[in-house]
Structure 1
Amino acid sequence: MSNNNPIRRRWRSQIIRERYIRLATSVGMLFFGAIIVLKVENLLLSVILAVTSSSILDPAVNSLERNGLSRKMAVSLIFLFIALILLLTIVGVLPPIYDQALKLKAELPKYTEGTVKLIQDIEARLVFISDIFETFDFSETAEAYISAFSTSLFDDLPKLLSNSVTTMFLAPFLTFFMLKDGRKVMKLLVDMVPNNIFEAVLSLRHQINLQIGSFIRARFIEAGIVGGVVWIGLWIINFPYAPLLALFAALTNLIPYIGPIVGMVPALMISLINGTDPLGLLLAAMPYLIAQVIDIFFIIPMVVAKIVDLHPITVIISFIIGAQIMGVLGMIIAIPVTSALKLTLESIYRHAIEFRSPE
């Protein structure tokens, strides 16, 4: 027995060393990948969109695969269906939105002048503002800022379109291979995990995928419902640019807290500039208010809140940190990242307790 002890000790030490080497390799690969994603232009947004899309589409692909299709065929079929939906959307929905965008561009000087006039009226009525800003011409500064913004918006449009086209091609490409080969890549990463934490890592991966995928789907359903309610409401009162404003409201609703307010501002500004009376202003705000009531009292409690179990203070802190690090995009992805981190820490804690407990 004593002769075997040194051999056994060397064998155990070799196994432990191999486990740590595999774990260090996994962490190093993930760290290196994260640096590349952060450094290469447009890659971060493309990866985020690809992860989001693959999380949304993965259940549908799995369902087709269970019905006898190969993984590649299932992914191809889903992409073909999405391409058909996009084609119908481009033919049916995009033309009116594009026409309204062109109309808005043509009328932008009118709204710029109206905004400046509105600021001047507010300045004239609130005398104390003039006293505070005696040496600061607020209206001129606002006019210069608005003119510069509107000019730069359309001047920078080619660059914006170029970046968008890059992302548009890169994100679907990454999504396709994430859906098709994601399991193989994940298996390679999981195989590098030491055996003593293999089951814990596998369970954690499943929980994170399930929770983040469900959360992303819920948020997009939420944004779609909000945009639809705003569109119908603005269409009923015959408000200009209804599809464009509804699309803007749906997108800004993805931004926590400030998003719904930002989404409502363009409609209120258009109403004020067009000289709408208080009743007309209330009518313009009504679709947004109804959408938020539906969102706050029905969609969030029934769909979103059940998916992510996070304390409100944790949510607020995660939003602040996300905003500081990555701006608006950081606020949008703050909850999924925090949720994944929470699940990871809980798994580490449980594993540590199990490891320390006597057998």
Structure 2
Amino acid sequence: MTAKRVMKILRLVGAGLFLTAALYFLYRVRTVLTPFFLAAFLAYLLKPAMVKLEKRGLKRPAAILLLYFLVFILFLPVPLFILPKLVRELNEFLLHLPIFTTEVEGLLGKFYQRYNEVALPAGLRRLLDDSFIGLSNTFQQAARRALQGLLNLLAGAPSFLLAPVLTYYLLRDSEQIGRAAGHLLPLQIKEDVFGLWTEIDRILTSFIRGHLLVSLIVGFLTGIGLALIGSRYAVILAVVVGLADLIPYFGPIIGAVPVLTLTLLEGKRTALYALFVMAVVQQIEGSWLAPRILSGSVGLHPLAVIFVLLAGGELWGVGGLLLAVPLTAIGSTVIKFIWARLVSS
């Protein structure tokens, strides 16, 4: 074995050891990385607008500060009006949770009585009986997990306060950071890696930026509609519907279930109005918002999308549902890239 080959192997082994140590270090300090991840996400969302402002003659720091000011004005109602109302609705929901549980059990009891009057095969009846057992406990646990998630979100306020500062530096020095990352790549693969990133960026632009904006508008319209019909939990349900709308195919159904459940407990008429609101919002999304905002598909077959959604939900719950499609699309792009290079080499 030649000395040159030995040195190449040693460099590869050293790079592998360095990468392993770096990943282990990041794993050990993962709790402090939240503001950095959030800052990177915000920088990715804001960079196109910053580039447009630069093309209009603004210096980059001024463009970033102008963007911050516009975002601040746009989201000013959140801490002034929406957040206090959200906290009040959470407290009211916690106080009424035992009553809601009793009412849900009553509704299930009536349904169970009618279900018992239907002649069913013994095996199917046993299966349905097992499904009914503990359903109310499942409802309580799901509600408490959702509330705990919202409270944890509020508890992460320090990360949200630090993220804009980090975002500023990421936006201001984005080219320098990109060049520094490019210098770490061997010349032989640099062009291929940049081409791969361009394709990944297209997927992220289509899915994250587009779907995030659509979901934000859907949640806002749902909250306005539920507030107009007099629902006591308009803000909570708007947040739930907006988050659920990020999930392809199943999102509208997942968001409709808590809306109809809570509004039905407020009254049948309220539930009927809520159903009308959901139908109108979904019609607006399907016929107007999605065609104008979403720039394209992620390149996955609908069957593949449904499969990865089910698999992601099974493995990682709500987080899996939200991340399954973009991660699968990115993974598919990387695999196709590697396969094409292996075949062509």
Q: TM tier, shorter chain?
A: 0.7 to 0.9
Q: Which amino acid aligns with 2:319?
A: L
- Structure 2 distance, partners of 1:89, 1:70, is 29
- 1:213 corresponds in structure 2 to 205
CA pair 302-328 structure 1, distance change in 2 beyond 3 A: same
Q: Please give the secondary structure, in 2, of the residue aligned with 1:246.
A: helix
Please say if residues 200 and 351 of structure 1, whose CA atoms lie closer than 8 Å, have aligned partners that are also in contact: no
CA pair 262-68 structure 1, distance change in 2 beyond 3 A: same
| Correspondence for 1:289 among 250, 274, 279 | 279
Match runs of 1:175-186 below 5 Å: 175-186=167-178
Q: Which runs of 5+ in 1 are unaligned?
A: 1-8
| Correspondence for 2:313 among 279, 302, 323 | 323
Please say if residues 310 and 321 of structure 2, whose CA atoms lie closer than 8 Å, have aligned partners that are also in contact: yes
| 2:184 is equivalent to residue 195 of structure 1 | no
Please say if residues 206 and 298 of structure 2, whose CA atoms lie closer than 8 Å, have aligned partners that are also in contact: no
| Correspondence for 2:238 among 246, 254, 265 | 246
| Correspondence for 2:331 among 335, 338, 341 | 341
Q: Please give the secondary structure, in 2, of the residue aligned with 1:267.
A: helix
- Structure 1 distance, partners of 2:268, 2:169, is 52
- 2:217 corresponds in structure 1 to 225
Q: Which amino acid aligns with 2:39?
A: A
Deviation at 1:240, TM superposition (A): 3.2
Counting aligned pairs with the same residue, the percent is 25
- Structure 2 distance, partners of 1:133, 1:344, is 43
CA pair 168-339 structure 1, distance change in 2 beyond 3 A: same
- Structure 1 distance, partners of 2:128, 2:77, is 56
CA pair 304-291 structure 1, distance change in 2 beyond 3 A: same
TM-score w.r.t. structure 2 length? 0.77
Match runs of 1:107-256 below 5 Å: 107-127=96-116, 132=126, 141-143=134-136, 160=152, 163-169=155-161, 171-256=163-248
| 2:55 is equivalent to residue 63 of structure 1 | no
Deviation at 1:71, TM superposition (A): 4.0
- 1:49 corresponds in structure 2 to 38
TM-score w.r.t. structure 1 length? 0.74
Higher-Rg structure is: 1
Deviation at 1:231, TM superposition (A): 2.8
- Structure 2 distance, partners of 1:142, 1:321, is 23
- Structure 2 distance, partners of 1:101, 1:123, is 30
Please say if residues 55 and 213 of structure 1, whose CA atoms lie closer than 8 Å, have aligned partners that are also in contact: no
- Structure 2 distance, partners of 1:137, 1:324, is 18
- Structure 1 distance, partners of 2:58, 2:11, is 38
Please say if residues 210 and 295 of structure 2, whose CA atoms lie closer than 8 Å, have aligned partners that are also in contact: no
CA pair 267-336 structure 1, distance change in 2 beyond 3 A: closer
CA pair 35-310 structure 1, distance change in 2 beyond 3 A: farther
Match runs of 1:289-308 below 5 Å: 289-304=279-294, 306-308=296-298
Q: Please give the secondary structure, in 2, of the residue aligned with 1:103.
A: helix
- Structure 1 distance, partners of 2:272, 2:20, is 51
| 2:89 is equivalent to residue 100 of structure 1 | yes
- Structure 2 distance, partners of 1:215, 1:151, is 30
Q: Deviations over 1:143-170 (max 9, x none)?
A: 555556667877x589725752254245
| Correspondence for 1:269 among 224, 247, 261 | 261
Q: Deviations over 1:234-284 (max 9, x none)?
A: 24433332233222211121133333222112231234324416xx54332
Q: Which amino acid aligns with 2:86?
A: I
The number of residue pairs the alignment matches comes to 339
Please say if residues 318 and 338 of structure 1, whose CA atoms lie closer than 8 Å, have aligned partners that are also in contact: yes
TM-align CA RMSD:
4.1
Please say if residues 231 and 266 of structure 2, whose CA atoms lie closer than 8 Å, have aligned partners that are also in contact: no
- Structure 2 distance, partners of 1:351, 1:151, is 49
Q: Please give the secondary structure, in 1, of the residue aligned with 2:198.
A: helix
- Structure 1 distance, partners of 2:149, 2:343, is 55
Q: Which amino acid aligns with 1:326?
A: W
Deviation at 1:188, TM superposition (A): 2.3
Please say if residues 55 and 216 of structure 1, whose CA atoms lie closer than 8 Å, have aligned partners that are also in contact: no
Q: Deviations over 1:279-335 (max 9, x none)?
A: x54332122123233334554455436152222233234334433543322322223
- 1:6 corresponds in structure 2 to none
| 2:251 is equivalent to residue 259 of structure 1 | yes
Please say if residues 50 and 63 of structure 2, whose CA atoms lie closer than 8 Å, have aligned partners that are also in contact: yes
CA pair 300-324 structure 1, distance change in 2 beyond 3 A: same
Please say if residues 226 and 249 of structure 1, whose CA atoms lie closer than 8 Å, have aligned partners that are also in contact: yes
Q: Please give the secondary structure, in 2, of the residue aligned with 1:193.
A: coil
Q: Which amino acid aligns with 1:127?
A: N
Deviation at 1:347, TM superposition (A): 3.6
